[in-house]
Amino acid sequence: MTTRAATRVAALYDIHGNLPALEAVLAEVDSLGVDAVVIGGDVVAGPMPVRTLEVVRSRADTRFIRGNADRELAVDATEPTNTAAQPAWRWLTDTLDDEQRIWLAGLDLSITVEIEGLGSVLFCHGSPRSDEEIVTQISPDERIAPMLSAVAEPFVVCGHTHVQFDRTIASRRVINAGSVGMPYQGEPGAYWALLSNVVDLRRTEYDLEEAAALISASGHPQARGLIEMLRNPPSGEEASSHFERIASNLENNG
């Protein structure tokens, strides 16, 4: 799917129901005169899903793609096999209504935006062919190149692994916008990308104590762990190594 041309595009990925982080980023986006926002998937899987979804859906300048956590909330989806993930999944499916879940699961896998001064940019969540394939700042080129083989666009923006990077793979410039709501960057904040004639990987500060209070009051079954993660996030290097081990295990197990 190709959308109309834009001059400045904000890429907001992996919000994960962190409303204070989202609102801080949107305030900065609006102050910068951005004319389009791409929400890059995994919007609601976190402590404030309903209000987070209402905020992003209310904006006329916003385009959406689907993340793996959005797909897993489909009304006909089965409970995760990972027992650690089951309480949060049940809480989310109880909190969201059927219309919201159907809308999230039905989003496009990717979109292409023409950005003036930059060119054609493909936005996806995991990889251009999957909402859950793993691409990190240290992924071997030979593992990622097949994921890009059918891509015509010179720029690809992804998320999923919650760590910003900007690298070239198989003659494509691949950018991870980072995570607004649950970053793994070693420093608290909300991470996102601004694309114009240049690529600007950004970090926005917000009130962590306000977020912690709202998360505590949300009823989310993993509230304590979420607060700790926001206050003391792992480094990008730690997170990338963790995701690469997952990718290697998936490859080895077929």
The CATH number of the domain holding residue 8 is 3.60.21.10
Give the residue-averaged pLDDT of 126-130: 97
The reported pLDDT for the residue numbered 122 is 98
| Average pLDDT value over all residues in the chain | 96
Is pLDDT at 132 greater than 70 in this prediction? yes
Give the helix ranges, DSSP H, for 42-140: 49-57, 68-71, 86-95, 98-105
Q: What is the pLDDT, as a whole number, of residue 168?
A: 97
SS3 labels along 119-138: EEEEEECCECCECCCCCCCC
Q: Do the Cβ atoms of 92 and 110 come closer than 8 Å?
A: no
* pTM (2 d.p.): 0.96
- Residue-wise pLDDT for 17-32, tens only, equals 999 999 999 999 999 9
Residues 224-248 have a mean pLDDT of 97
Its domain, for residue 67, covers: 2-252
Region 217-233 average pLDDT: 98
Cite the DSSP H helix spans in the chain.
19-31, 49-57, 68-71, 86-95, 98-105, 141-148, 208-218, 223-231, 236-252
pLDDT band at 3 (very low <50, low <70, confident <90, very high): low
**Whole-number percent of the chain with pLDDT over 70:** 98
Strand 165-169 and strand 155-158: the pairing is unpaired
- Over residues 152-180, the pLDDT tens digits come to 999 999 999 999 999 999 999 999 999 99
Residue 175's Cβ-count burial label (10 Å; 0-12, 13-18, 19+) is: buried
Per-residue pLDDT at 38 exceeds 80: yes
Question: Above 90 in pLDDT, residue 241?
Answer: yes
8-state DSSP, 180: S
Count how many domains the chain has.
1
